[in-house]
Structure 1
Amino acid sequence: MPEASAYARGVPCWIDLSCTDINASKEFYTALFGWEYFVGPSESGHYTQALLGGKSVAGMIQRAPDQADMPVAWTTYLKADDADLTHKAIVEHGGQPMTEVIDVMGEGRMIVAADPTGGVFAVWEPGRHIGSRVVNEPGSVVWNELSTPNAPRAREFYSAVFGLEIGDRMPEFDFTSIRADGRDVGGIFTVPDAQPEWRVYFAVADTDATAAIADSNGATVLVQPKDTPFGRMSVIQDPQGAVFALMSTPQS
């Protein structure tokens, strides 16, 4: 199982789930992906890391009682070299920080923000924790992409704040990759009248079988498994409402 050791600036480097019942979430995602868990100390709010082969792939945290208005959702974190400068750049380029820079007990420094189109994301400046140690393997993240009513504005923002390159526009619809060091690391595309959303895609060996497991464990299959140019894909809403995608690729 290959292990990630570092991320370039702007690359999606971590994901975590804010949920209402963390024990139920752990059971669900273990059934789907075979995850095990490391539960942090009380001073971290018992922040939980999902593990594959003992290596971290994602995080989970249960919402506090006073956070009932927060959505149950997966959050994508983009890597920053300097969180303070990134916070300033977010403001300068029309984004809206939702937090100040937060020092996470020496593990790293983070920000939660919304881009100018309303897409919510997080920023991670690594300390001891670099982010996901396993990616592009079954049960781990394989792709992150933003759907938004205004993809051109979003591209301007992420390029300016994180130095990401923008790939060529696909001819059939308004989709481009975002690139770091010449490599595709995510996507941005226009979905008219949609609520902006950064969606997490998990690699799986068999999309149909995993979607069936999700369904049998109380999830809703929003998009039935279908073939795409990039692999066989399905969209799932977990039992608490978080939406994510499955993707089986040749590497899966």
Structure 2
Amino acid sequence: MAHGSIYWSELATSDVEAAKDHYAKIAGWTFEGMDMGGGTYWVASHDGRAIAGIMDLKLIPHPVPPHWLTYVAVDDMDAAMGIVADTGGKVIREPFDVPGVGIIAIVSEPGGGGYGLIEPAPMPAS
């Protein structure tokens, strides 16, 4: 995925089953669950391609309202974190590794809008 591209979106909600039903009916999404060791992360697919995730708000370690969070791909997380600071953004959650996915950070732009950064894990050679 190219630097600067929208990489992923995920919904944190208080009613996962209702959200899954909603998106299945409105968008034709299907879902596959992944155990997160405290709950299930639901990967939404459309036409056989994974496009988004849905999880229960209870999996987030601090209180937040239901929301969609968009992740932007970056080539270098350290450089991106410097740019966030230099441009008046804020770090909400420091970078952390998600095995097989990549390095993720949650940040905001100068006006306060939150979003995620992801430095995707290298794709296995085929």
Q: TM-score range by the shorter chain?
A: 0.7 to 0.9
Point out 4+ residue stretches in structure 1 off by more than 4 angstroms: none
Find the counterpart in structure 2 of residue 231 from structure 1.
102
Map Cα deviations across residues 136-178 of structure 1 (whole Å, 9 max, x no partner).
3111101011111221211111011111111124252221100
- Percent identity, please: 28
| Alignment partner of 1:241 is 2:106 | no
Is 1:212 aligned to 2:82, yes or no?
yes
Q: Could you tell me how far apart the structure 2 residues matched to 1:218 and 1:194 are?
A: 22
Point out the structure with max Rg over C-alpha: 1
Find the counterpart in structure 2 of residue 187 from structure 1.
Answer: 53
| CA drift at 1:194 | 3.2
- Structure 1 segment 41-52 matched on structure 2, within 5 A: none
Contact kept? 2:33, 2:40, Cα under 8 Å:
no
CA contact (8 A) 1:147 1:197 kept: yes
Aligned-partner residue type, residue 19 of structure 2? A
Gaps (5+ residues) in structure 2? none
Provide the TM-score with structure 2 as the length reference. Answer: 0.85
Q: CA shift at 1:216, angstroms?
A: 1.6
| 8 A contact 1:236–1:244 mirrored in 2 | yes
| Residue in structure 2 matched with residue 158 of structure 1 by the alignment | 23
Larger RCO (CA under 8 A, 6+ residues apart): 2
**Cα distance in 1, alignment partners of residues 41 and 33 from structure 2:** 8
Give the Cα separation in 2 of the matches to 1:211 and 1:196. Answer: 25
Cα deviation 1:6-56 (Å, max 9, x = unaligned): xxxxxxxxxxxxxxxxxxxxxxxxxxxxxxxxxxxxxxxxxxxxxxxxxxx
Deviation track 1:164-223 (CA, whole Å, cap 9, x = no partner) reads 111124252221100011221110001136311111100000112201211121111011
Q: Is the 8 A contact 2:107 2:116 kept in 1?
A: yes
Q: Distance in 2 between matches of 1:168 and 1:217?
A: 37
Q: Distance in 2 between matches of 1:208 and 1:238?
A: 16
- In structure 2, what is the equivalent of residue 138 of structure 1? 3
Change in Cα spacing, 1:216 to 1:171, as seen in structure 2 (3 Å) is: closer
Q: What is the alpha-carbon distance in structure 2 between the residues aligned to residue 224 and residue 183 of structure 1?
A: 29
Verify the 8 A CA contact 2:10 2:52 in the aligned structure 1.
Answer: yes
Q: Would the alpha carbon gap of residues 224 and 171 (structure 1) be closer, same or farther in structure 2, given more than 3 Å must change?
A: closer
Query: 2:84, 2:90 within 8 Å by CA — same for their partners in 1?
Result: yes
1:213 partner amino acid: I
In the comparison of the two structures, how many residue pairs are matched? 116
Deviation at 1:241, TM superposition (A): 0.9
